[in-house]
């Protein structure tokens, strides 16, 4: 079976990816590669990954998201994770995956506001 | 009625199938949304271990009852290389593969009962349970 591609949308200089289906390992790795390439191609300054539709985030996906944030950071792009369900937040912490270095927001709207602030700050040269 | 369902693990796709199956059974048994997520996540970790270390194996999910308490039991079996040092693999952060070393201890934290039986070059059976409140 071919791996599922997660659509990555571009709005201004921000990329938005909303993960709508349970990712198996290969499609998750494909998503990481696609997203990093798209950051490079579009020179996006921020990426929002929306997980509202996911009811399970296991250690593999959790680690992959932390990796994506670190890798995008190396390229100069900020990542904000949005929409984690309560059950997902609980299981991630109980698993031992607190994602301390990943920025998060309650929902996509708050994530966009946060991203705007972050990119404006970097315009000032303060970040 | 005792519910029992099984899934064969052969690929990373089967990990998603096994955890969806476990979630469905947990839901049928009356577990709440957060426990359903704990159970599904634990199965995801255990099924991934089967896939990574043994290649193939089975996940069976069934209803259990003890002292008038109902619960769910998950049995993960493989005929893989086995675990030489169980204490070591239950430590947070220990990993021999590309994992993060939180699969087994993480799954244990998400469940109520957790036991491992393993013999080198014979296989591993992990049995875990979660009880309904």
Chain A, nearest residue to B108 by Cα: A95
Question: Within a domain: residue A21?
Answer: yes
Mean pLDDT of A31-35: 96
Mean pLDDT of A70-96: 95
Do B24 and B85 form a contact (C-beta atoms < 8 A)? Answer: no
Whether A123 shows a pLDDT value over 60: the answer reads yes
Q: Check which CATH number belongs to the domain holding A40 and give it.
A: 3.30.750.24
Nearest CB neighbour to B34, from listed A24, A58, A87: A87
- CB contacts of B41 in chain A (<8 Å) are 56-58, 91, 95
Express each pLDDT in A45-54 by its tens digit: 999 999 999 9
Q: Would you put residue B49 in left (φ > 0), alpha (ψ -120 to 50) or beta?
A: alpha
Give the per-residue pLDDT at B101: 56
Q: Check which CATH number belongs to the domain holding B56 and give it.
A: 3.30.565.10
Question: Within a domain: residue A1?
Answer: no
Give the per-residue pLDDT at B83: 87
Whether residues A58 and B20 touch (CB distance < 8 A) is answered with: no
- CB contacts of B111 in chain A (<8 Å) are none
Give the per-residue pLDDT at B99: 54
Whether residues A97 and B92 touch (CB distance < 8 A) is answered with: no
Nearest CB neighbour to A59, from listed B13, B19, B102: B102
Question: Within a domain: residue A113?
Answer: yes
Question: Within a domain: residue A59?
Answer: yes
- Domain of A75 in residue numbering reads as 8-124
| Stated pTM of the model | 0.90
Give the per-residue pLDDT at B1: 55
Question: Within a domain: residue A48?
Answer: yes
For chain B, the domain total comes to 1
Question: Within a domain: residue A24?
Answer: yes
The ipTM is 0.88
For chain A, the domain total comes to 1
Residue to mutate among B44, B46, B49, B108, with most A CBs inside 10 A, is: B44
- Domain of B14 in residue numbering reads as 4-131
Give the per-residue pLDDT at A37: 97
Give the per-residue pLDDT at B109: 94
HEC sequence for chain B:
CCCEEEEEECCHHHHHHHHHHHHHHHHHCCCCHHHHHHHHHHHHHHHHHHHHHHCCEEEEEEEEEECCEEEEEEEEEECCCCCCCHHHHCCCCCCCCCCCCCHHHHHHHHCCEEEEEEECCCEEEEEEEEECC
The mean pLDDT values, 10 residues at a time, for chain B of 133 residues are 86 96 96 97 95 95 94 96 82 63 85 94 96 92
Whether residues B106 and A55 touch (CB distance < 8 A) is answered with: no
């Amino acid at each position: 079976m071919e791996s599922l591609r997660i659509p990555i949308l571009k709005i201004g200089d921000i990329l938005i990816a909303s993960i709508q289906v349970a990712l198996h390992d290969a499609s998750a790795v494909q998503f990481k590669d696609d997203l990093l390439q798209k950051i490079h191609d579009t020179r996006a300054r921020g990426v929002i990954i929306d997980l509202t539709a996911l009811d399970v985030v296991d250690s593999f996906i959790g680690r992959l998201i932390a990796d994506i944030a670190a890798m995008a950071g190396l390229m100069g792009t900020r990542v904000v994770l949005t929409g984690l369900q309560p059950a997902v937040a609980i299981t991630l912490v109980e698993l031992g995956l607190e994602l301390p270095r990943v920025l998060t927001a309650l929902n996509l709207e708050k994530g966009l506001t946060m991203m705007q602030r972050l990119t404006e700050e970097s315009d000032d040269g303060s970040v | 009625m005792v519910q029992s369902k099984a899934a064969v693990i052969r690929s990373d796709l089967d990990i998603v199938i096994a955890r969806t199956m476990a979630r469905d059974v947990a839901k049928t048994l009356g577990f709440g949304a957060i426990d359903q997520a704990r159970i599904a996540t634990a199965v995801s970790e255990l099924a991934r271990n089967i896939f990574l270390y043994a290649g193939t194996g089975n996940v069976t999910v069934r209803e259990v009852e003890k002292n008038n308490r109902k619960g769910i039991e998950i049995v993960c079996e493989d005929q893989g290389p086995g675990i030489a040092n169980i204490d070591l693999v239950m430590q947070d952060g220990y990993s021999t593969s590309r994992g993060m070393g939180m699969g087994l201890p993480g799954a244990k934290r998400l469940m109520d009962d957790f036991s491992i039986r393993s013999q080198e070059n014979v296989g591993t059976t992990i049995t875990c349970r979660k009880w309904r409140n």
